[in-house]
Amino acid sequence: MESAERKQAINTAAVSDIEEALSQCGVTGSTLGVAEKEALDKMGYVMLPNVWDASSTERLREALETAIRQEQQTDSAPQTGTRQVAKLASRNAVFDGIYTNPRLLAAAYHVLARAFKVFQLSGRDPLPGYGLQGLHNDWYARMPSDPYYLVTTISLLDDFTASNGATRVIPGSHLWPKQLPKAMTQPLSNHPDQRVVIGKAGSVLIFNGHLYHGGTRNDSKLPRRVITCQFVARNAVRPGDNPEEAPEHLTPAARYLLGA
């Protein structure tokens, strides 16, 4: 087949398996380096620098600000403390780039090792003085012999510093056989092994959804905007979950990744 025709066929044929979706998004065996895979395996997280260049980061910031403004206009209870907006997939095509990014997808596949889809795509900006969360993980407890169910990716639209509400993590806690005692999950509790992860805008913090983590308080006067995209094993269900809506313009691979 001529290559233009082949491209057209790829662009219109439905995608029905994860390997095809990953391939169409440009993921290869070397998209993620050995050290990055090892960090995900052993520490449960990795910070990937320079995933978004300056102009992509700016486009994402603008789209997020617009989405937050729209949300505030329709929200009967105005948000205070932390600005948040969910269901970004249907709000602006610029967000398609997040869940089809090869490095994010390669990391999700490395951890989940089976078919997955977007669980949620949302924005978060803890305003000065806010944002502190208790240490938590993003999925149910699992038995040591169970596979992993969820991967969380946090795209930094502003630098993460030691004082502006960067995410804290407990390295290696995705491998713990037991949950943290309840007292340790209170917002003001600190774990002796926790680390606040800092990084430049344009980086992406990726962690195993079973890793203990949480937002810290924004003690600066600056914004700390992120876009969070979570990927979940396709066969995992949680009652009451509400999937992202898939806009018309999506490629078949993007449509598959949204679970549409």
Ligand X SMILES: O=C(O)CCC(=O)C(=O)O
Which residues are at the interface with ligand X (CB under 6 A)?
A: 124, 133, 167, 213-215, 226
Q: Buried b / exposed e across 124-157, counting CB within 10 Å, b at 16+?
A: bbbbeebbbbbbebbbeebeeeeebbbbbbbbbb
Q: In angstroms, what is the minimal distance from the CB of 27 to ligand X?
A: 25
Q: In angstroms, what is the minimal distance from the CB of 159 to ligand X?
A: 13
Q: Name the residue nearer to ligand X (CB basis): 133 or 189.
A: 133
Q: Rounded to whole angstroms, how far apart are CA atoms 22 and 15?
A: 10
Q: Name the residue nearer to ligand X (CB basis): 215 or 252.
A: 215
| Residues 101, 106, 108, 113, Cα dihedral to 10° | 150
Q: In angstroms, what is the minimal distance from the CB of 132 to ligand X?
A: 10
Return the closest-CA partner of residue 238 out of 138, 167, 171.
138
Residue 206 bridge partners (DSSP): 46, 153
Q: Name the residue nearer to ligand X (CB basis): 31 or 153.
A: 153
Q: Name the residue nearer to ligand X (CB basis): 21 or 154.
A: 154
Q: Name the residue nearer to ligand X (CB basis): 165 or 252.
A: 165
Q: In angstroms, what is the minimal distance from the CB of 17 to ligand X?
A: 30
Place of tokens 């018309």: 248
Which residues have C-beta within 8 Å of that of residue 56, sequence separation ≥ 6? 97, 202
Q: In angstroms, what is the minimal distance from the CB of 226 to ligand X?
A: 5
**Within a 13 Å sphere around the CA of 159, how many CA atoms are in the beta-carbon half?**
7
